Amino acid sequence: MGVSRSFLNRLASALPGGYSADSAPASEPTAWAAIALAEAGSLGPARKACDWLARVQQRTGAVGVTADQDLPAWPTSLAILAWQTYDAHAQGKHYQANIDAAVAWALNTSGRTVERKPQIGHDTTLVGWSWAPDTHSWLEPTAMFIRALYAAGHATHPRTLEATRMIVDRLLPTGGANYGNTRVLDQYLLPHVQPTGLAMWALAAAGPDSLEGRDPRIGASLDYLQAAIARPLGVASAAYAVMGLRSHGRQSGEIDALLQSLAERSLRERSPYKMALVAAATQTCVRPEANGGAASNPPSHNATSNTTAAPA
């Protein structure tokens, strides 16, 4: 199931995009749009988005949250993924220098660790990436950097491997993930759809045969996502849930129907961010990387085969 050409055109016309219809351009929505458009073969608009990300990239290699906010710079991960996806589909190395600088920044940046405490369930010594500088590692930014580093050819880098262990460590015993904690003061926290979707999407890169891939919490988390998409959700959570499910090869008519509904909702809201997430959730970029091993889905296909007359 793909989104329609007119949907992609609407997304392209909103570039560079913000979180809502009337907000200023931001790096995360623009990067997701670039990824989705490149995967759909809309290389012209994807290039426009990638160029915007290149313009806001700092000398350090980092990409801030918006054009006028250098920090935090967690969207650097998504910029790497956007540039890499574009270059792969354009069969060139247009953004290699940007990617190299961004990867170097990422590998020199880490979340703060703290000594393990009995009140906190997760392993606070594992290193991933934080939202803001000099703070603890959290699940969502770490998931994004894992995918970025896989895409950039750093699948076996020690940082990638440790970050993958960190994601597994943050999964709840019965499946799903909170925003990052597991147990606090002897009580397990609530699972949430968005971080669970992102965690599953990241772990798909490692593949089912990896140590992390064999962890039973992953299957339980996918089951949690499958159940969660049956109830009312925000567009972003639902889109990340679909990414998590599809990247592990879980595809269903229910997901197709959900994507159609999400596309319509995101268009009604005219939110570039939500439109980009919905488009990304339908594209092959959410499926396992070839070098990750979990190639249960076909490789990327072209725009013609991946677009339909469906939503909106």
Partner 1 sequence: MTKNGQPTEPLIDRRTALATGGLAAAGLIAAPYARGLLRGPSPVFLASGQRYDGPLRQTIEDGLAAAGVDAGSLRGKRVLLKPNLVEPSRQIPHMTTHPAVILAAAEALRGWGASVTVGEAPGHVRDTETALIESGVGEALADGGLEFADLNYQAVGWRRNRGRCSPLRGVYLPQSVLEADLVVSMPKMKTHHWVGLTCGMKNLYGVLPGIKYGWPKNVLHHNGIPQTVVDINATLPRVITIVDGIDCMEGDGPILGSPKPMGLVAVGADVPAVDATIARIMGLDPQKISYLALARRRLGEIEDSQIEQRGEPWRPLRSPFRMLDEPHLQELVAVDSELVT
Restricting to residues 21-40, which ones interact with partner 1 according to CB under 8 A?
23-24, 26
Verify binding: residue 215, partner 1, rule CB under 8 A.
no
Please report the beta strands in 22-108, taking only residues with DSSP state E, as ranges in sequence order: none
- In 3-state terms, what secondary structure has residue 268? helix
Q: For residues 263 and 7, is the Cβ–Cβ distance under 8 A? A: yes
Structure tokens belonging to residue 84: 């890499």
- Closest separation in Å from C-beta 75 to partner 1: 10
What is the residue whose two structure tokens read 């998590």? 244
Q: Which of 134, 299, 305, 309 binds partner 1 (CB under 8 A)?
A: 134
Q: Which of 228, 71, 195 is nearest to 122 (CA)?
A: 195
Verify binding: residue 160, partner 1, rule CB under 8 A.
no
Binding residue count for partner 1, defined by CB under 8 A: 42
Q: Which of 16, 17, 128, 180 binds partner 1 (CB under 8 A)?
A: 180
Q: Which of 197, 152, 187, 145 is nearest to 166 (CA)?
A: 145
Overall residue count recorded for the chain in this entry? 312
Residue 26 vs 255, nearer CB to partner 1: 26
Verify binding: residue 251, partner 1, rule CB under 8 A.
no
Q: Which of 59, 91, 185, 299 binds partner 1 (CB under 8 A)?
A: 185
Q: Which of 72, 219, 249, 293 binds partner 1 (CB under 8 A)?
A: 72
Q: Which of 77, 110, 130, 221 binds partner 1 (CB under 8 A)?
A: 130
Restricting to residues 263-302, which ones interact with partner 1 according to CB under 8 A?
none
Q: For residues 236 and 277, is the Cβ–Cβ distance under 8 A? A: yes
Verify binding: residue 184, partner 1, rule CB under 8 A.
yes
Verify binding: residue 46, partner 1, rule CB under 8 A.
no
Verify binding: residue 232, partner 1, rule CB under 8 A.
yes
Q: For residues 45 and 90, is the Cβ–Cβ distance under 8 A? A: no
Q: Which residues contact 24 (CB under 8 A, 6 or more apart)?
A: 18, 66, 67, 68
Q: Which of 92, 173, 216, 234 binds partner 1 (CB under 8 A)?
A: 234
- Closest separation in Å from C-beta 72 to partner 1: 7
Site string for partner 1, 87-106 (x = CB under 8 A): --------------------
Q: For residues 242 and 281, is the Cβ–Cβ distance under 8 A? A: yes
Segment interacting with partner 1 (CB under 8 A) among 120-128, 184-192, 250-258, 300-308: 184-192
Report the alpha-carbon distance of residue 104 to residue 164 in Å, rounded.
19
Q: For residues 201 and 147, is the Cβ–Cβ distance under 8 A? A: yes
- Closest separation in Å from C-beta 293 to partner 1: 29
Verify binding: residue 112, partner 1, rule CB under 8 A.
yes
Verify binding: residue 237, partner 1, rule CB under 8 A.
yes
Instruction: For 192-216, give one letter per residue: b (16+ CB within 10 A) or e.
Output: bbbbbbbbbbbbbbbbbebebbeee
Verify binding: residue 196, partner 1, rule CB under 8 A.
no
- Angle of the 139-151 helix axis to the 96-107 helix axis, nearest 10: 140
Q: Which of 99, 101, 193, 276 binds partner 1 (CB under 8 A)?
A: 193
Residue 152 vs 198, nearer CB to partner 1: 198
- Closest separation in Å from C-beta 228 to partner 1: 10
Q: State the DSSP H helix or E strand holding residue 188, giving kind and residue range, or none if neither.
A: strand 187-188
- Closest separation in Å from C-beta 116 to partner 1: 17
Verify binding: residue 19, partner 1, rule CB under 8 A.
yes
